[in-house]
Structure 1
Amino acid sequence: MASNSKHHGSNQDSTSTTRSPGITRRDFVKYSTGTVACIYLGGLTTACGSKSGSSGSDFPVVVFSDVHFNPLYDPSLFPALNAAAASDWDAVFRTSALTAPSAWGKDSNYPLLTLALAGITQNLGASPFVIYTGDILGHGLPQMFYFNLNGTTAPRDAADVAAMQAFTDKAVAFFMAKVRAAVGTVPVLFAVGNGDSYTGYGPDSAFLANTAELFYTSFLNGIGDHQAFLTTFTRGGYYAVEPPGTNLMVIGLNTIIFSPLVAPTPGANDSAVAAQLDWLDSRLAAATVAGKKVWLLMHAPPGADIGTTAKPANVDANGHIATATMMWVSEYQTRFLQIVANYPGSISLTLAGHTHMDEYRVLPSSDTVEITPAIAPYFGNNPAFKRFAISGATLKPLDYSALNYDLATAPAQFSAYYTFSAAYALPGPLDTALARLTPALVTNSAQQALYRGYYYSGHNAPHSVSDTLFNPITDTNWRIYWSGIATMEQQAFIDSINAS
């Protein structure tokens, strides 16, 4: 959903994020027996005698997104995968002759999934949580299943639909089991993505109902109220949890339902969206009254669909546009932005994915949405993820390090790519640094070059159409990318671009 950039940035050491000294993951939580241990993270903990806002040890959190795992990357494995239990899929994948990680323009295959999870394991450090911002499944997986089953991309009957759903459930279970093996007992906080569905663009209600227990037990590892989670997740794909022993509320939204792509009929999703936004308002109010900080997780961010807007056919020789594609329906976005603005200071971290690129958005409330690049190289990006340094006192991000996998050189593992504060010479906290960076991206050519270079996580000079679905960022279309950072409304976005 975005364009390719053309400048390479320098690598930085990923270990520069601050670790909590002398603390191991074993100290944080023991959920497998149903008992909760005190999570000792200085300002993160309340049960250990400290609260957010007091001095405390900073800590890292690994964030990854948009794996888009395609279990059918090798069609010859379909019969065996379809017949096997999810727990036996590893053995099936190891029989494949396809051992190279996915190329640009493809979803993640088993070799790339394995590399990515190994990189996450190596960079966990003292992370008390891992965060995943959506899209477990490959693009169009239901249609690929039908094609392998019956030679068309549609079901013949109800039995085909049931078979597809069973296969999809196994793919989700397999993915979650692999993540769980990589991160140990650490809870995986998450948001659902558009690929997490039985339709190919969802999530749909049947998918949510059938996978709710998996998300609760395999990802959240049983933290939070079970029934409360099931109620909101099966109703609309959203939830809130308050990790025991912390001064934190984590809210996972389903922002795919805000997209005009989900319900082409105007107003079709109004009641469901209103219910979710009312619920969000109530959760933020509760967190504020309780003095808790909030981490807000979503898949599709608000604002413009920059990549689609920047397609060459939409941009004239002066870099001007006649219209812009937006991520959310305008009315839904307006209500969301109003709700967030009503609770200044409550939200300490907002994370999204979906675009597959290394970018960010600044909301009118001054809250910053950090967008994590994708593991899947589907849009021409190199696979990448981030490791944030979080303040134990404020639960806000101080800095991050990006790690990537350069498909051009096919190294043995994911490696350090850059650290924000060092690359841009902007010390934290991160939201303040990004607020300073935004205007500098117009006036400072060196920082603009860095941002354009990091956008595709290092794959910045596609050699053919097969390399990427979008063209590189250029001097002509750059204003689209810059304006998309802080201009949320469609007409204001268009005006900002055309003013140049």
Structure 2
Amino acid sequence: MPGHWTIRTLCAALALSCGIAGPPGAAAGADADATFLAISDVHLDPFTGTAADGRLLAADISEWPRIFADVSVPVATYGDDANVPLLDAVLADAARRTPSPDFVIFSGDAVVHRLAYRVRAVEPGAGQEQVTDMAIKITTYLAHRLADAFPQAPVLLALGNTDAGCGDYQVEPGGRYLAATVPALRRLVGSDRLAPDAEATWRAGGYYAARHPTVDDMTVIVLNTVLWSPKYENRCGPAGSDSRAAGDAMSAWLEARLSAAASAGERVWLVYHIPAGVDAYSTAQAKPADAACAAHTVPFWREPYAAAFASLMQRHRAIVSAGFSGHIHRDSWRLFPASGDGAAGFEAIVPAVSPVYRDAPAFQMFTYDRSDGALQEKTTFAVTNLPQAAAGAPVVVDRLYAFTEAYARTPFGATALAEVTAALQRDAASPDRTLYDRFYGSGYGHDPETDWPVYACAPAAATAGAFDACRCGPR
């Protein structure tokens, strides 16, 4: 594993201006106060490895703060999911830098990996009901922590693949986990912002629409793209349940929502967990050694969902301003191709708080125009001393980079991302390629460089076919 980069060595190596006195000002012409935060992939691990864990299983979450106060555990480190001390440190830093964000986007994965294993390690005889109870508690506890950290800010909540009572990629449509997390949805988004059908669609599959917190005539559509994953199964549903039924319903609902927004002259943001396009890491691991390049591509979404979504993005490119996702635990993006040259739109992939995949815990701050929702800047903040913090030092969170400063393109958006993406796909090394390689893991490690053709093609590919055309060339 490559060595750890501190913010100072990183900035020196890249000849960047990376002062850490505070968040950057908004781009020229933007409202300096128009900021929001994006947080993803906490994978909160509440277990402490002490006798208190049995109390956590039995107690209501209202008792959890007192239980946590009774034990002392170190901050989680690389290879672990985020525990409560790490979550608290990240939220405290985010709240210090941006005490009054307009809103917060949480793009999924509240629940720790391998939850059933973790529960049964504490209580070996625990059944599915107790595992589901714990998934509900973790999700609700994180919702409370987000609400407490940013008491005046709505939180646009999406679900991730671990956010389920049944298991990873196994949320049960109409099941107990979705029903029990409706109060968290109401508290975070605000009942007055939720669309009239929001609670019904959340219970049906974990998706909904809401009025944008600040931008007039804008709707935020929050999807549960886990339902479109090839890994998704409705294992806890009634015998014979169709694992595609909920994904089909959400796809039809999305098309209707976008058509209604277009007819009403509304703009749209999208929020979801699993990105469009290709799983670059899994594709790179396949390492094809022959001409059957495309056979090794690992898509994030199954068909026909991926192609249908790409078509919707082209059709509604005039109204879909931006998308936000997570899941890969890395700082990246996806471009949605237009019918001609350029991009129809983009999604910003938010890095993770959990360091389980050896990425630096991070969060992002965006500046934007409240008049139309146009994004101006994206700034990433990351923990830069995690091993030392796990050994007892205070957690240090530094300003890693601001997109328009680092890449010298403004504003942050589809045009700038398309220019950077084109630079990534050239054979020659470039400053953009160096920056992307460094920032991809939020300043820790050098993941893309080992398999550069895969990582260079992934940002521009919203479907497996587009990725194959970039990576594999003409057939």
> So what's the TM-score if we normalise by structure 1?
0.82
Structure 1 residue matching 2:76: 3-state secondary structure: coil
- CA distance in structure 1 between the aligned counterparts of 2:453 and 2:155, rounded to whole angstroms: 36
CA 1:138–1:304: 2 relative to 1, 3 Å: same
CA 1:383–1:81: 2 relative to 1, 3 Å: same
Correspondence for 1:196: 163
Query: Which residues of structure 1 form unaligned runs of 5+?
Result: 21-41, 43-54, 462-471
- Report matched runs for 1:96-245 at 5 Å: 96-99=71-74, 101-150=75-124, 155=126, 160-201=127-168, 202-205=170-173, 206-225=175-194, 228-243=197-212
Which one of 26, 29, 49 corresponds to residue 18 of structure 1? 26
Is the deviation greater in 270-279 or in 216-225?
Answer: 216-225
Displacement of 1:483 in angstroms is 0.6
**Does residue 1:341 correspond to 2:308, yes or no?**
no
**Does residue 1:277 correspond to 2:260, yes or no?**
no
Structure 2 residue matching 1:351: 3-state secondary structure: strand
Structure 1 residue matching 2:296: 3-state secondary structure: coil
Deviations 1:368-423 (A, max 9, x none): 11000000011110000100111223312111110000214535342211101111
- CA distance in structure 1 between the aligned counterparts of 2:265 and 2:465, rounded to whole angstroms: 37
Correspondence for 1:433: 416
Correspondence for 1:261: 231
Correspondence for 2:14: none
Correspondence for 1:382: 360
The answer (yes or no) to whether the contact 1:17–1:388 under 8 Å persists in 2 is no
> Partner amino acid for 1:161?
Q
Correspondence for 1:34: none
- CA distance in structure 1 between the aligned counterparts of 2:467 and 2:378, rounded to whole angstroms: 28
- Report matched runs for 1:4-43 at 5 Å: 9-10=10-11, 11-13=18-20, 15-18=23-26
Correspondence for 1:48: none
- CA distance in structure 1 between the aligned counterparts of 2:273 and 2:206, rounded to whole angstroms: 11
The answer (yes or no) to whether the contact 2:210–2:220 under 8 Å persists in 1 is yes
Displacement of 1:309 in angstroms is 1.0
Structure 2 residue matching 1:263: 3-state secondary structure: coil
- Report matched runs for 1:70-85 at 5 Å: 70-85=45-60
Displacement of 1:16 in angstroms is 0.8
The answer (yes or no) to whether the contact 1:64–1:132 under 8 Å persists in 2 is yes
> Partner amino acid for 1:78?
D
Displacement of 1:438 in angstroms is 0.9
CA 1:291–1:126: 2 relative to 1, 3 Å: farther
Query: Which residues of structure 2 form unaligned runs of 5+?
Result: 12-17, 236-240
Displacement of 1:355 in angstroms is 0.5
- CA distance in structure 1 between the aligned counterparts of 2:47 and 2:115, rounded to whole angstroms: 8
- Report matched runs for 1:243-322 at 5 Å: 243=212, 246-263=216-233, 268-311=242-285, 314-316=287-289, 322=295
| Percentage of matched positions with identical amino acids | 27
Structure 2 residue matching 1:357: 3-state secondary structure: coil
Displacement of 1:167 in angstroms is 2.6
CA 1:444–1:434: 2 relative to 1, 3 Å: farther
- CA distance in structure 2 between the aligned counterparts of 1:56 and 1:386, rounded to whole angstroms: 18
CA 1:289–1:5: 2 relative to 1, 3 Å: farther
Displacement of 1:226 in angstroms is 6.9
Displacement of 1:315 in angstroms is 4.7
> So what's the TM-score if we normalise by structure 2?
0.86
Q: CA RMSD in A?
A: 3.0
Correspondence for 1:88: 63
Deviations 1:426-446 (A, max 9, x none): 121422111111111235522
> Partner amino acid for 2:171?
P
Structure 2 residue matching 1:118: 3-state secondary structure: helix
The answer (yes or no) to whether the contact 1:399–1:429 under 8 Å persists in 2 is yes
